[in-house]
Structure 1
Amino acid sequence: MARAQVTDLVVVLPGILGSRLADAEGRAVWDLSGPALLRGLRSFGGSVSALRLPKDTGDGDPGDGVVPVGLMPDLHALPGIWHPVDGYTDLLRWLERHFTLSVSDNLLTFPYDWRLSCRNAAERLKGRIDLELERWRASAPERREARVVFLCHGMGGLVARHYAERLGGHEVTRRVITLGTPHRGSLRALADLVDGGGLRDPEPGAFARSLPSLHQLVPDHACMEGPGGLAHVRDLPALPGVDEALLADAARFHADLRGTPPRAELFAIAGAGQPTAVTARYAGDRLTLASEGDGDGTVPLPGGARPENGPAGGRPGGPAAGSWAAYEQHGSLQNNKAVREALRGLLGEEPVLPPGAGQLSDPAARLGVRVPPVLSAGVPYEVTVTAPDDARLMAELRPADGGRPVTRPLRSLGGGRHAAAFPPPEPGAYRLSVGPVTALSLIRRSAL
């Protein structure tokens, strides 16, 4: 099949943890993915203190010589910072197969130091775009009017939006496409700040709490349950683990995006159908994710698909020129089949919008999956799925190093709930797939 013509510059931005980092001598300081993930995490705790940021870093650079050197290629995670995310190599290969795009030519990746403020990353993005777009436009006469299309996963969408809306990037941006971007924040980020995602490890916890970026992922709306109703996180000064100055600055960051008249066309794609925390409460020195709603398991659906809670499929120049959702977990959105079908229409100069607003996924793929992102050694791996009672489902647990997979049929528990349990896996990184018995389709990727 012929590749679709793209004359613009396409730039892929990863989410938090999605960029490989190296020190001034070129030695890797964050590059844990795939089969090496577990081995690296065992030793990473001893060096994480060296990556901790000084308290007064703000939007600046800590001067520690750490630089981004590329995107994470495979499954990666850092327990206590963010949940598992599949890498970006497969996405880049898919883009090259289906469009006239080539890595380092008109398909660029923008790795950034995900520890730092989104404003810092956006400033660096501006410098990169200024150079690369001039190069691309000068390479052929038909490219003189080329613009930039940003394809962003997670936090990368906040970086691109700040560049486009606050740094003048709208003048050269055709559109910003976000996948699972926490436009209104994620309670998972707050949980990681308060108690390290439940791990209670002092070193990763202190590291997480030094990051402006992680604070910028905390919800900026009223989501904390209390006697007086819902309150903003910033209105709870006694909440431990949160840097009040960083949190206040994060609120200003989001207010700036909301307060700027939309100038760049935004298309937001989110994950749906997965149990996702929407409110939390703090009591007894413990943060509890109190109530659940729709989302991708990490980012609630309104925050991932409708940046300012605007209507789905809104007018161009409004909260979102288009917004849709696919039944998928946050870490796998970039590799979801339905999402990629939507991207086929969104990467051209004139977007071919998916039919209607709302869901992208085929009904057969509308599964909600609940699994632990991190599992202690010796504990069975339990999977719970929401699907019609008469669905016949199978789960497959596959080692990330290519080892032999294990499959289990899911039994119906009634009320649209299905479950399966795997024997305690050997320590390592795994991918879980859940789908119909007749055609297993990927719905969840996770690390153990």
Structure 2
Amino acid sequence: MARARAQVTDLVVVLPGIMGSRLADADGTAVWDLSGAALLRGLQTFGRSVTALRLPKDIGDGDPGDGVVPVGLMPDLHALPGIWHPVDGYTDLLRWLERHFTLSVADNLLTFPYDWRLSCRFNAERLKGRIDLELERWRASAPERREARVVFLCHSLGGLVARHYVERLGGHEITRRLITLGTPHQGSVQALADLVNGSRPAGPDLGAFARSLPSLHQLAPDYPCVTGPQGLAYARDLPGLPGVDAALLADAARFHADLRSAPPRSELHAIAGGGQPTPAIASYADDRLTLRPEPGAAGSGDGTVPLLAALPADASGEGCPVTESFTPYEQHGSLHHNRGVRDALRDLLGHTPPARRPEHPAAARLGVQAPAVLAAGDPYEVTVTAPDAQLRLTAELRPADGGRPTARALHPLGGGRYAAVFPPPQPGAYRLTVGPVTALGVVLVTSLTQRP
């Protein structure tokens, strides 16, 4: 017998992360819509035509006037090598929400695609306009909905857009709670490395495009993260970093400072992935950043966003629970598919603070390291860390287009470390799933391989 759907009278709004919105030009022609099976064959074309999507210098919080508009969420695995890591799409999340709650897309379950190239402030203003209209419509649709409020469910960059609306544009007055999944509230050193180091060898050259994006600069770390003669320094205080627009980086610092100065007037739940090898600091030499984990906190993060940056700097912790119960062992790009995250969402969408859950069993506390982008001809190497040296683990590499998966047993290396090597995959997008032999699927890692 099917379980009854939980009653939700609020308006639930889903915001994706960077690259998570499909973009089209003024004629309706897709300019960013590469996911799943189409990802590989479209990346090189995108690399050749990306000049048209570059933003003008000194755009600030403005609209470039190029006719590009957001038209929906990315449905499947998507990535741009050199700009963030691969991310799974949002179709499955929306279907799960509709199955388990009295939510319906275009009714009280809204998606907010946005032009992810642009400033979070610009997109927050657009969000305000959309919410003003939609909440009025929803409240007027039935007497029991007159007191409805808004619940934001945000992945990654989407959390910064929603926070600016809630904390700086008056959105707290109608917001019940703001839920963020893997949002880099204090930035991510990975974004800084994408700017400084540029595209990886396996991808098209997107350096000039990346440097023009206010959004990518707003993802850069807002904490001391680059080692120098005087210790750790803010990136904005290091003149001459290549690949960085100094004006955009300075403005990003002001953006984060504005969020820090805003009083915490709405309930914020920051859910962050943990247990994955995650860079938190960097050293700079020979015009490149070399990423390293935070000293004493190896494996603390979701592979992209370290735990130290997953909670707002001014958060007391009372309204922003980032405890073991809310830090699933998961990679950044798949947090919205994680079963533990969805268990927490069941409670959060029911207007009740989530109950503390049991500690993760040893078999679930897996840290997975695998390449986000793989050059043609290279073997696909997977390394796993676990607290138990006696586990039987397996890894499954599955093509995103639904092709036949390949499985490999992970061999123990001693000290709770395991490894497996897959032969060089064919060009394409892949999902890697790692878990115990008896319960495959504890940790989901998305990864991309492509032929340069």
TM-score by length of 2: 0.95
Alpha-carbon distance between aligned partners in 2 of 1:76 and 1:55, rounded to the nearest angstrom = 27
Report the secondary structure of 2:220's partner residue: coil
Q: 1:82-101, aligned counterparts within 5 Å?
A: 82-101=84-103
Name the structure 1 match of 2:345: 343
Alpha-carbon distance between aligned partners in 2 of 1:391 and 1:321, rounded to the nearest angstrom = 30
Does 1:437 find its partner at 2:443?
no
Does 1:298 find its partner at 2:304?
yes
Alpha-carbon distance between aligned partners in 1 of 2:312 and 2:360, rounded to the nearest angstrom = 21
Report the secondary structure of 2:37's partner residue: helix
- Contact 1:191/1:197 (8 A) holds in 2: no
Residue type at the aligned position of 1:302: L
Alpha-carbon distance between aligned partners in 1 of 2:166 and 2:420, rounded to the nearest angstrom = 45
Alpha-carbon distance between aligned partners in 1 of 2:366 and 2:132, rounded to the nearest angstrom = 43
Alpha-carbon distance between aligned partners in 2 of 1:434 and 1:124, rounded to the nearest angstrom = 39
5+ residue gaps, structure 2 = none
TM-score by length of 1: 0.96
Alpha-carbon distance between aligned partners in 2 of 1:255 and 1:108, rounded to the nearest angstrom = 29
- Contact 1:153/1:179 (8 A) holds in 2: yes
Alpha-carbon distance between aligned partners in 1 of 2:60 and 2:355, rounded to the nearest angstrom = 40
- Contact 1:49/1:203 (8 A) holds in 2: no
Alpha-carbon displacement from aligned partner over 1:181-212 (angstroms, at most 9, x marks no partner): 00010011001101125449784100000000
Q: Percent identity?
A: 74
Name the structure 2 match of 1:307: 312
Alpha-carbon distance between aligned partners in 1 of 2:57 and 2:236, rounded to the nearest angstrom = 18
- Contact 1:79/1:374 (8 A) holds in 2: yes
Distance 1:321 1:285, change over 3 A: closer
Report the secondary structure of 1:272's partner residue: coil
- Contact 2:43/2:204 (8 A) holds in 1: no
Name the structure 2 match of 1:157: 159
Alpha-carbon distance between aligned partners in 2 of 1:177 and 1:145, rounded to the nearest angstrom = 20
Q: Which of 59, 66, 81 matches 1:57?
A: 59
Report the secondary structure of 1:354's partner residue: coil
Report the secondary structure of 1:83's partner residue: strand
- Contact 1:326/1:338 (8 A) holds in 2: yes
Does 1:353 find its partner at 2:357?
no
- Contact 1:303/1:309 (8 A) holds in 2: no
Q: Per-residue deviation at 1:415?
A: 1.4
Report the secondary structure of 1:426's partner residue: coil
Q: May I ask how many residue pairs the two structures share in their alignment?
A: 439
Name the structure 2 match of 1:386: 385
Report the secondary structure of 2:430's partner residue: strand
Name the structure 1 match of 2:363: 364
Alpha-carbon distance between aligned partners in 2 of 1:8 and 1:188, rounded to the nearest angstrom = 35
Residue type at the aligned position of 1:394: T
Q: Per-residue deviation at 1:47?
A: 0.8
Name the structure 1 match of 2:419: 419
Distance 1:394 1:322, change over 3 A: closer
Residue type at the aligned position of 1:116: L
Alpha-carbon distance between aligned partners in 2 of 1:432 and 1:77, rounded to the nearest angstrom = 15
Report the secondary structure of 1:276's partner residue: coil
Name the structure 1 match of 2:374: 375
Q: Per-residue deviation at 1:291?
A: 3.2
Q: Per-residue deviation at 1:238?
A: 1.5
Name the structure 2 match of 1:9: 11
Distance 1:199 1:236, change over 3 A: farther
- Contact 2:202/2:373 (8 A) holds in 1: no
5+ residue gaps, structure 1 = none
Q: Per-residue deviation at 1:443?
A: 2.2
Q: Per-residue deviation at 1:447?
A: 1.6
Report the secondary structure of 1:156's partner residue: helix
Alpha-carbon distance between aligned partners in 2 of 1:200 and 1:395, rounded to the nearest angstrom = 23
Alpha-carbon distance between aligned partners in 2 of 1:229 and 1:263, rounded to the nearest angstrom = 35
Name the structure 2 match of 1:108: 110
Alpha-carbon displacement from aligned partner over 1:358-401 (angstroms, at most 9, x marks no partner): x8745432110000100001110000000121111000001111
Q: Per-residue deviation at 1:445?
A: 1.7
- Contact 1:156/1:181 (8 A) holds in 2: yes
CA RMSD of aligned residues (A): 1.5
Q: Which of 222, 225, 236 matches 2:224?
A: 222
Q: Per-residue deviation at 1:228?
A: 0.9
- Contact 2:81/2:204 (8 A) holds in 1: no
Distance 1:203 1:36, change over 3 A: same
Name the structure 1 match of 2:175: 173
Distance 1:275 1:197, change over 3 A: farther
Alpha-carbon distance between aligned partners in 2 of 1:227 and 1:201, rounded to the nearest angstrom = 34
Report the secondary structure of 1:251's partner residue: helix
